[in-house]
């Protein structure tokens, strides 16, 4: 037996995607030209699968902030926050994140994945409980595994199912942390956050909202779904990432509980990982300022969202979410149809994401499009035209 034997089904899946043309999984982008344009296989394409929601990756002031920090502070910290890797700018970013929410404490992690690992495994331990939505991100499940807590799954976006599970815990519900996401990245759907808040309050549980894909997108100041729903006062922890709306790399946790600071002494992923580079922190600070100080980018993003949803729904596609958001998942009947759509869009100058099992919920085959405030109306029209062309091609094939 080889250690690699268990990967054979994955190899077969990859082989089934074909070996002609650009790889549909981990597609090589030869060159990035702007927030919305790139070169793939020698062809210039619209980037419609990047999660660059506010289009800040090429924002001049963000680039300038990173460049200045690179020149003044070097390429990296070469150490963890607990050793030599805690710079003044790390603390400044944490203070700015906390101030944005009006809360006393924030922690910055080196990746968004690590933020979930570090927060979940550090906060909840043996004799306590993690109740997680069944469609949760891999980083949430891995945080649960790293924790010594008992992990209990509840049905996706189902407050009644969560209610029954908390009820079984009785008084121990006060030792339970409920984990939901502000926007689920595969299907683009949102949770009924008000109903989840009511359930957790009734049982005396705690609530963490992962706003990775909703931070910068929802809310008056872009703080996420909890802000948009008017429920910030009901949430105990918010986790987010710098790699979507903030156009960088890293993660964070903010909380109205000042005792979050104690997690710095208990979270192994935080304690034993090198801290983010000065350039990343500087760029993130500038992107955060742009995010909370103005709403023009969010308004443009939602114009693009509404434009695309209106056109694609009119085509008759089955979508992953009835609520328009920055992620549009088109549900296709099988893997080969999804692959054909992905290749067809690329041939028509549009790069999207192919999402197939085992990475998707419920074994769905998806064509996933993520929009940006930097997309123009003409970009959206080209995406729509490419989708319509593929739909007509599939219809012709079906009729022979």
Q: Compute how many other C-beta atoms are within 10 angstroms of the C-beta atom of residue 214.
A: 32
Q: Residue 227's pLDDT is what? A: 98
pLDDT, position 255: 98
Contacts of 105 (CB under 8 A, 6+ apart): 98, 254, 255, 257, 258, 259, 260, 261
Cβ atoms of 277 and 75 within 8 Å: the answer is yes
Full-model pTM: 0.95
Q: What is the model's pLDDT at position 38? A: 98
Would you state the pLDDT for residue 354?
Answer: 96
Question: For residues 385 and 391, what is the distance between their CA atoms, to the nearest angstrom?
Answer: 10
Query: How far is residue 215's CA from residue 280's CA, in Å, rounded to a whole number?
Result: 18
Domains annotated for the chain, with CATH where assigned, are: 5-51+295-399 (3.90.1150.10), 60-293 (3.40.640.10)
Q: Convert the pLDDT of each residue in 121-165 to its tens digit.
A: 999 999 999 999 999 999 999 999 999 999 999 999 999 999 999
Per-residue pLDDT of the chain (400 residues; tens, 9 = 90+): 689 999 998 888 888 888 888 999 899 999 999 999 999 999 999 999 999 999 999 999 999 999 999 999 999 999 999 999 999 999 999 999 999 999 999 999 999 999 999 999 999 999 999 999 999 999 999 999 999 999 999 999 999 999 999 999 999 999 999 999 999 999 999 999 999 999 999 999 999 999 999 999 999 999 999 999 999 999 999 999 999 999 999 999 999 999 999 999 999 999 999 999 999 999 999 999 999 998 999 999 999 999 999 999 999 999 999 999 999 999 999 999 999 999 999 999 999 999 999 889 989 999 999 999 999 999 999 999 999 999 888 777 767 6
Q: How many residues does the chain have?
A: 400
Q: According to the model, what pLDDT value does residue 71 have?
A: 98
Tens-place pLDDT, residues 281-302: 999 999 999 999 989 999 999 9
Count of CB atoms situated within 10 Å of the CB of 303: 15
**Residue matched to tokens 């790293």:** 146
Sign of the torsion angle spanned by Cα atoms 323, 324, 325, 330: positive
Strand ranges for the chain from DSSP E: 31-32, 37-40, 43-47, 105-109, 129-133, 150-154, 176-181, 206-210, 237-241, 251-255, 318-319, 327-332, 350-351, 353-355, 365-370
Which is it for the CA torsion 386, 218, 208, 154, positive or negative?
negative
**Backbone conformation region of residue 79, classed left if phi is above 0, alpha if psi is from -120 to 50, else beta:** beta
Residue 239 vs residues 76, 182, 302: alpha-carbon distances, Å: 24, 10, 23
Planar angle of CA 107, 241, 165, nearest 5 degrees: 85
pLDDT, residue 343, reads: 95
- In degrees, rounded to 5, the angle at the alpha carbon of residue 22 between the alpha carbons of residues 34 and 305 is 45
- State the pLDDT at residue 18: 84
Does the N-terminal peptide bond of residue 358 adopt cis geometry, omega within 30 degrees of 0?
yes
């Amino acid at each position: 037996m080889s250690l690699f034997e268990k990967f054979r089904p994955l190899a077969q899946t990859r082989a089934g995607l074909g070996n002609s043309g650009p790889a549909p999984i981990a597609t090589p982008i030869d060159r990035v030209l702007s927030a919305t344009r790139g070169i793939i296989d020698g062809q210039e394409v619209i980037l419609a699968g990047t999660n660059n929601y506010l289009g800040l990756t090429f924002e001049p002031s963000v680039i300038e902030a990173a460049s200045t920090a690179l020149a003044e502070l070097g390429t990296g910290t070469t150490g963890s926050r607990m050793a030599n890797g805690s710079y003044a700018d790390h603390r400044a970013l944490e203070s700015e994140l906390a101030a944005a929410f009006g809360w006393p404490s924030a922690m910055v992690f080196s990746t968004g994945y690590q933020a979930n690992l570090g927060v979940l495994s550090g906060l909840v331990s043996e004799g306590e409980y993690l109740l997680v939505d069944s469609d949760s991100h891999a980083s949430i499940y891995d945080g649960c595994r790293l924790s010594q807590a008992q992990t209990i799954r509840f049905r996706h976006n189902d407050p009644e199912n969560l209610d029954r599970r908390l009820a079984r815990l009785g008084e121990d519900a006060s030792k339970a942390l409920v984990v939901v996401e502000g926007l689920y990245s595969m299907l683009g759907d949102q949770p009924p956050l008000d109903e989840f808040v009511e359930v957790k309050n009734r049982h005396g549980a705690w609530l963490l909202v992962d706003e990775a894909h909703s931070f910068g997108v929802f809310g008056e100041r872009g703080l996420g779904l909890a802000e948009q729903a008017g429920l910030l006062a009901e949430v105990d922890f918010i986790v987010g990432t710098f790699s979507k709306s903030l156009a960088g790399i890293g993660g964070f946790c903010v909380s109205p509980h000042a005792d979050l600071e104690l997690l710095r002494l208990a979270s192994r992923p935080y304690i034993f990982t090198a801290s983010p580079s000065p350039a990343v922190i500087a760029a993130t600070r500038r992107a955060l300022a742009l995010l909370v100080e103005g709403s023009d980018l969010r308004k443009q993003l939602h114009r693009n969202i509404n434009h695309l949803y209106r056109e694609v729904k009119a085509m008759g596609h089955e979508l992953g979410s009835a609520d328009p958001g920055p992620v549009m998942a088109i549900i296709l009947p099988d893997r080969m149809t999804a692959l054909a759509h992905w290749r067809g869009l690329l041939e028509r100058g549009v790069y999207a994401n192919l999402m197939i099992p085992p990475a998707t919920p419920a074994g769905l085959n998806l064509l996933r499009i993520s929009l940006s405030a930097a997309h123009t109306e003409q970009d959206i029209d080209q995406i729509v035209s490419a989708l319509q062309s593929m739909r007509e091609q599939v219809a012709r094939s079906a009729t022979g």
